[in-house]
Structures are given as structure tokens and as C-alpha cells.
Amino acid sequence: MTDSPAERLGEFLRAQRQLAGLSLRQLAEIARVSNPYLSQVERGLHEPSLRVLTSLAQALGIPPQHLLAKAGVPAEEAESATGVEAAIAADTRLTGEEKRALLAVYRSYVAGRGGSSRSTKKS
């Protein structure tokens, strides 16, 4: 029986991984997270970041918003983060290094504004 949201998320992730026919190691490799960290997430010992959740959802072939909702991320925050991040991740014109750099810049701007998706300031 699970009590915490982290444990429920971990159980959901484990079930999705098994439905996809992936081992823990395979999913960790595809999602670009460490095997021990993914194991801890599945056991409810860690609450992953938006980036990790989005990466896991993409690796499992499920909508990122669905997984983020299971993790308790507010819909507005999930939509904003996954939309931009998914667009960057899906762009085949960019190398992996370029994608990581763009994501880092995007995340730094969002974090600097406290995660707000709206700006009233004009440049």
C-alpha cells in the first residue's frame, strides 16, 4: 500500500516501464538518467525534476503532461515546461549538445522568473 505521492509516482513509472518491455537499465539509458537514481524514483525515495519527468515520459512514449499530472505538477506549469522542452527535444536540426545548451538557457530564464509563464515587461 502506498501513501506518498512519490511512492504512487514510482509505482506508476514501474508499471509503465514494464508495459513498455524495458528493464530499469534500458529506461535509464534512454531517458539519460542514472540507473540507481531511476531505481530510487521507482521506489518513491526521490521526487524527480520536471526535466527528468519529461525525459522519462518521452522515453516511455506517454504524454509528458500525463506523467507530470501523476507527479502532482500543476497543469499550467506542466504545459509550459513540456511544450518548450518537447519542441527543443524534437527538433532534428539540433545536436544533443545544442539541445542541452538551449534547455539550460530556457530553464535559467524560467527559474529566474520564479517559474511564471507570463511577463509584462517589454524589451
- The CATH number of the domain where 37 resides is what? 1.10.260.40
Would the pLDDT of 82 be above 80?
no
Is residue 94 situated within a structural domain? yes
Is residue 120 situated within a structural domain? no
Would the pLDDT of 118 be above 50?
no
> How many beta carbons lie within 10 A of that of residue 101, not counting itself?
13
Full residue range of the structural domain in which residue 88 is found? 5-112
User: Average per-residue pLDDT in the chain?
Assistant: 79
Per the CB < 8 A criterion, the answer to whether 117 and 80 are in contact is yes
Give the H/E segment covering residue 106.
Answer: helix 96-112
Query: Considering its fold, how many domains does the chain have in total?
Result: 1
Q: How far is CA 118 from CA 30, 68, 107, in A?
A: 33, 20, 15
| Confidence at residue 97, expressed as pLDDT on a 0 to 100 scale | 80
Is residue 36 situated within a structural domain? yes
Would the pLDDT of 19 be above 50?
yes
Give the C-alpha separation, 52 to 33, whole Å.
7
Mean of pLDDT values over 74-102: 73
Radius of gyration of the chain (CA): 15
More confident residue, 114 or 8: 8
Segment 20-72, tens digit of pLDDT: 999 999 999 999 999 999 999 999 998 888 888 888 988 898 888 788 788 87
- The model's pTM: 0.61
